A and B are shown apart, each in its own frame.
Chain A
């Protein structure tokens, strides 16, 4: 079993204009790892985009602070940690399921999509919020 290796470790200002570039860096890693194509074109970009926009717009809601993105490659999975500098929050309370009454909502699909597109989503609070997204390589 190979030791996990850090494939990406970047810090960005709290501005949504940086999201697309970071997502591109992450999807490039996915393609190099030869993950199934839909994981590189759908699961990773959408889930990561959601985690980054949450960190920027809600975690660091004052527009200050940084967001750190770290990707670790394990034998069985890719693990992304997205860390903001904001206060703790209840992730499960903010998750909105796409029930018929919710389908016309304009917001609230982000956490749901992260959970559906990743194999595991964890929220850890360590002086800032860490959203850990785990995606199996197979």
Chain B
């Protein structure tokens, strides 16, 4: 499991490879907060290579969303597979995040 960060235009794109769970959520949080501190405002998390997410991982996404918004930025999500879509629907987090089917659509939406 790892996180890779790249820049597409003015959007910071984070790829979550593997699981986003209690054991690695702080790593994701810190990477995004570091970018936020550098002045980045637009963030996209791409889940195309993600297995499963637990409640701690979901909690970190909520936390990051709040912190980014407090700084006048935006966090969007892309490429949730059917399982992840179900997870977001069960927890009603699909109402909190702007979620796109593809990375391209998400980038265009900023």
Contact = CB atoms under 8 A, between A and B. Distances in A.
Interface of A: 16-17, 19-20, 38, 41-42, 45-46, 49-50, 53, 57, 98, 100, 103-110, 112-113, 116
B110 interface: no
Contacts of A116: 90
B93 interface: yes
A45 B51 contact: yes
11 contacts: A38-B82, A42-B52, A42-B83, A42-B87, A46-B54, A53-B22, A106-B62, A110-B55, A112-B90, A113-B54, A113-B90
B23 A16 contact: yes
Contact of A104 (B21, B53, B54, B96): B96
Contacts of A106: 59-60, 62-63
A115 to B, nearest CB: 10
B95 A103 contact: yes
A21 to B, nearest CB: 10
A107 B55 contact: yes
B58 interface: yes
Nearest to B83: A42
A16 B83 CA distance: 23
Interface string B52-92: 11111011101100100000000000000011001100111
* Max chain A C-beta neighbours (<10 A), residue from B21, B86, B95: B21
Contact of A49 (B52, B82, B96): B52
A20 B62 contact: no
B5 interface: no
